Amino acid sequence: MPLTKEALLNMYRRMLTIRHFEEGITEFAKQGLVPGTGHVSIGEEAVAVGACSALADGDYIISTHRAHGHLLARGADIKVILAEVLGKATGCTGGKGGSMHLSDFSRQILGTNGIVGAGINIAGGVGLAIKMRQTGQICLGFFGDGAANRGTFHEGLNLAAVWKVPTVFVCTNNQYGLSMPQCKACGNIDISARASAYDMPGYRVDGTDVIAVYEAVKSAADRARKGDGPSLIEAISFRLRGHSMRMDQMPGGNVYRPEGEIDDWAANKDPVKIFRAKLKELGYLDDKKAGQIDAECQKLFDDAADFARNSPEPAPETAFTWIYAKEGVK
């Protein structure tokens, strides 16, 4: 069943919302408004939106340190997410987790992680719970090309295969793990091929093509929902910015990137541009409509920014809460 015009335009909207969000917080970071750091996914929006569009209501996701896009693609409240990135009381963890710890339990977004590769096993475990509880959901676990070299990738995918849990593993291969080009970090750059080690289907898709990502994840999700077990999807994409907002500002913070690479990629690999062109080709979008959508998405961010910036700082006593849940037999 091909995606409708409306669905496609919604996907475009989501991609653009992510883009505006991350360009916006990059500015905020320069102004010193972001505590710590944050990792923008500019250039990777098609993976977030393609993958999340393939999910049903009630499906879970588990994500990484580079997660704003996943959260927004999955429908989390942009205001709450932005407030969290700014460390405000109205953020999803009241400013205590920041950009690396975003979640929305009302939407089954079970959280992101500051430890690379830690989410893979957690996503498998969510799949295990789904299977044991027979709820018909699935879980989507995002991770990066760098994370794919951690032992947790191996243990997590193998166990998922053994137990046939309904988890879809989505690797955003943005070609770098911090300063490490993917081609120097592993013996075989084809991460999807590792799936065969676990007798699991593996797909390599163009991560700048939101529809390709959608289709791959959709079929993996269908398979998982039917009880046929996990899949691994590798989406080739491009990190158009520095590793983190902090490092992007640091002198030498991008020293490891070949000269011209970012410009070249921005010109040729930008998924938003690519999708916009595609939608125009399909006749779903013209310049006017594109301008309108752009303005809408910018406004979403601007409203969120008003909300977040005007939100209170967390009260000092909140530093001590949530460490333990209250006891009590349930």
Partner 1 sequence: MPQRQISYREALAEAIIEEMARDDRVFLMGEDVGVLGGAFGATPGIYAKFGGERVLDTPISETAIVGYALGAAMAGMRPIAEIMRVDWMTICMDEIVNQTAKMRYLSGGHPEVSLVIRAAAEGGIGLGGQHSQSFEAWFVHVPGLKVIMPSTPYDIKGLMKSAIRDPNPVICLEPGVLYGVSGPVPTEEYLIPLGEAEVKREGKDITIVAWGTMLPKTLNAAQTLAAEGVDVEVVDPRTLRPLDIDTVIASVKKTGKLIIAHEAMKTCGVGAEIAALVQERAFDHLDAPIQRVATPDVIIPVNRALERVVLPQEATIVNTVKAVI
Q: Which residues of this protein are in contact with ligand TPP, per CB under 6 A?
A: 39, 65-66, 114-117, 144-147, 174, 176-178, 239
Alpha carbon separation from 72 to 51, 193, 205, 223 (Å, rounded):
12, 29, 22, 25
Diameter of the chain measured on Cα atoms:
60
145 belongs to the binding site for Mg ion (CB under 5 A): yes
Residue 46 neighbours by CB under 8 Å, 6+ apart: 15, 207, 208, 209, 210, 213, 235, 237, 271, 274, 275
Contact call for residue 152 and Mg ion (CB under 5 A): no
- Applying the rule CB under 8 A, the residues between 69 and 98 that interact with a copy of itself are none
* Residue entry with tokens 């994409």: 237
* Min dist. Cβ of residue 247 to partner 1 (A): 8
Residues 273-292 that bind partner 1 (CB under 8 A): none
Instruction: Using CB under 8 A, count the residues that bind partner 1.
Output: 81
**Per-residue tokens: 73:** 């693609």
144 binds Mg ion (CB under 5 A): yes
Report the residue count for the chain.
330
Contact with partner 1 (CB under 8 A) among 87, 207, 230, 271: 87
User: Minimum distance between the CB of residue 135 and a copy of itself, rounded to whole angstroms?
Assistant: 23
| Residues 209 and 269 sit within 8 Å (Cβ to Cβ) | no
Q: Which stretch binds partner 1 (CB under 8 A): 94-102, 223-231, 263-271, 287-295?
A: 94-102
Per-residue binding letters, 142-171, with a copy of itself (x by CB under 8 A): -------xxxxxxx-xx-xxx---------
Query: In 31-117, which residue ranges form alpha helices assigned H by DSSP?
Result: 45-53, 68-73, 78-85
Interface with partner 1 in residues 230-259 (CB under 8 A): 247, 250, 252, 255-256
Say if CB 48 and CB 270 are below 8 A apart: no
Q: Assess 292 for contact with a copy of itself (CB under 8 A).
A: no
- Residues in region 174-213 near a copy of itself by CB under 8 A: 184-188, 193-194, 196-200
Neighbouring residues of 87: CB distance < 8 A, sequence distance ≥ 6: 34, 35, 95, 98, 313, 314
Q: Which residues bind Mg ion (CB under 5 A)?
A: 144-146, 174, 176-177
Residues near a copy of itself (CB under 8 A): 149-155, 157-158, 160-162, 184-188, 193-194, 196-200
